[in-house]
A and B are shown apart, each in its own frame.
Chain A
Amino acid sequence: MPKDVKVGKAPFQKRKQLERDIEHVTQEMYKRNKELAETNKTLSLLRNIDALVLESHASLKLVCEHITEAITQATDYPFIGLFTRTSHATDEIRLYGWSGKDYLGSDLPTTGRDPLRLRMSDEWLGAPEGNRLLALDHLSPDELSNHMEGSLAEHDRALKQLPVKTIYQVKLFVRRRVVGVLVAGFYTAANEVAESDILLIDRLSDSIGVALDNKLLFEENQRVVHQLRESNAKLRALDEAKDDFVSMASHQLRTPLTSVKGYVSMVLEGDTGPISDNQRKLLNQAFSSSQRMVYLIADLLNVSRLRTGKFVIDPTPVNLAEIVEQELAQLKETAATRSLKLIYNKPKDFPELMLDETKIRQLIMNFADNAIYYTPAGKKISVEVVDNPVTIELRVIDQGIGVPKSEQHHLFTKFYRAGNARKARPDGTGLGLFMAKKVIVAQGGSLIFESKEGEGSTFGFTFSKAKLAVPTKSAPKA
């Protein structure tokens, strides 16, 4: 019989053991599920915070409010506060977001009219690391002054506004610098705050720190953009005022210059009686200088017209070969005084083309004038006008100082002058080549430019003959 008893006991013990095992497994599974639920909550919160920051165009303050609201909704903490720097430049950390209103039943904790501010001299804030639990139920307003800015009365009020026993503070570090402080309030005493809550706040802190830092950088960037826009607007206004002045001054200069040129021309043509060879030479010099000044003023005026949209091309039938001859004639004296050889072989039977004569003259004068000024004495300057089957070309080839390779791409921009050109001729305007390019392109041509520093440059243009063909006159009706 005892045998039977033994047989009956064994299944009972086994069953008991099995029940204990099942209970153990169930509780272990519960524990694991709880951990998973907490991880899930953390991840969900992190995702929400990331989304808030990435998708939000709201201000730093609003982002802080959204973050604290998201944490409160997910955790049910009685108080969540987010202190942040208001900018990277200032040493001030303010309470910009908080949540927990349902339980506190009051507005944002304040010191007077301003949001709560952390005391930057608080040793904890300056320490390289460390989070802390503060037992508020034993904290006096006086002690709070070590951590917060404001008066004792304000601290007293702030403590009353936060009816929590404990707060957990986490410094938010980015690039080893505190960008803010996350504060969670608990109803429980400091030693009763759940480890899982501490862990959750710690895990959120990295992500919130980065979020605040990004928002701060974004807002600072926006401020810089705003300042740049304002500066640009001021500069644009100044530029317009300068252009208006240049335009007005150019008009005023042109009138007396026309008189000077006219009277010099009359004297040269003998209207005031015979003149000696020496007088002619000097007057020719004066005339060509006046002409250069006319072109310079025209450049200034054209720049102004480009801005106002009044720069127009006025094409008429022009013989380029003859124009080149006439313009170079004005520079012969100057070239001779600089011991330069100015070579031009005028082609015969050059076709007439529809070009803006005034502007083309100015352009030729500009290329040739530059060549004379930037070529050392004793060297030569060749001007070539070529009638190709499809195109015509003009090239002014000098043996001058050339343009440094590193500066060539700037050469045709407004007011730009290469370094060696500024040394050789400090009084240049930097407008000649800018306008030359505009004049060529506006008439459908292409610029020719080749240069080697110390060896010389070639400036010119090429035009399609078909594009500039002079329209044939229709035969008169019989």
Chain B
Amino acid sequence: MIMDIYAQIVEKIIKAQEVIIGPVAVEQALRVPHLKIDWPKHHVSIDGDQAAAVNSLVAVYSELFGQISKEVSKEAAASLVRQLPVGKLPEALR
């Protein structure tokens, strides 16, 4: 159940970034380790540490586009983050 939520969070973040920067959002996400993305089908899965993968994704955007992109990621994930236990919350979304 929680695993699904992480994947959903990743999907939400990519979607929100895509609205702003277009296909670059997907290209950058594909470079994140442990993320398996089939974007045409909007299918996302994570191998390994789920929270770490989310942190990496947020960091990729944030390195390129700064703090504001981190806020966009947090806003996009807001509705799902509340479903996670506090201890399981990815650092980047706190």
> A188 to chain B: which residues have CB within 8 Å?
78
Is B64 interfacial (CB-CB < 8 Å)? yes
- Which of A31, A33, A187 contacts B79, CB < 8 Å? A187
Q: Quick one: closest A residue to B22, CB to CB?
A: A33
A30 to B73, CA, bound (A): 13
Q: Quick one: closest B residue to A40, CB to CB?
A: B19
Interface secondary structure of A, over-half rule:
helix
Contact call A27/B65, Cβ cutoff below 8 A:
yes
Interface Cβ pair total, 8 Å cutoff: 34
> Shortest CB–CB separation between residue B66 and chain A, in angstroms?
4
Interface size on B, residues (CB 8 A): 16
Contact call B66/A27, Cβ cutoff below 8 A:
yes
Contact with B along A43-81 (1 / 0, CB 8 A): 000000000000000000000000000000000101000
> B78 to chain A: which residues have CB within 8 Å?
187-188
With A78-B79, A188-B78, A194-B71 given, name 9 new contacts (CB 8 A): A23-B66, A27-B66, A27-B68, A30-B64, A30-B69, A33-B20, A37-B19, A37-B20, A76-B12
Given A27-B66, A30-B69, A34-B72, is A76 in contact with B20 using a C-beta cutoff of 8 Å?
Answer: no
> B64 to chain A: which residues have CB within 8 Å?
26, 30
8 Å CB contacts to B: which residues of A64-123? 76, 78, 103
Q: Quick one: closest A residue to B82, CB to CB?
A: A187
> A187 to chain B: which residues have CB within 8 Å?
78-79, 82
8 Å CB contacts to A: which residues of B37-51? none
- Which of B12, B68, B76, B82 contacts A31, CB < 8 Å? B68
Residues of A within 8 A of B (CB): 23, 26-27, 30-31, 33-34, 37, 41, 76, 78, 103, 187-188, 194
Interface secondary structure of B, over-half rule:
helix
Q: Quick one: closest B residue to A103, CB to CB?
A: B79
A188 to B21, CA, bound (A): 26
Contact call A26/B65, Cβ cutoff below 8 A:
yes
Contact call B75/A194, Cβ cutoff below 8 A:
yes
Contact call B79/A30, Cβ cutoff below 8 A:
no
> Shortest CB–CB separation between residue B54 and chain A, in angstroms?
17
Contact call B21/A33, Cβ cutoff below 8 A:
yes
Contact call A30/B21, Cβ cutoff below 8 A:
yes
Contact with A along B72-94 (1 / 0, CB 8 A): 10011011001000000000000
Chain A to chain B contacts (Cβ below 8 Å), 8 pairs: A26-B64, A30-B65, A30-B66, A31-B68, A34-B72, A37-B20, A103-B79, A188-B78
> Shortest CB–CB separation between residue A163 and chain B, in angstroms?
9
> A27 to chain B: which residues have CB within 8 Å?
65-66, 68
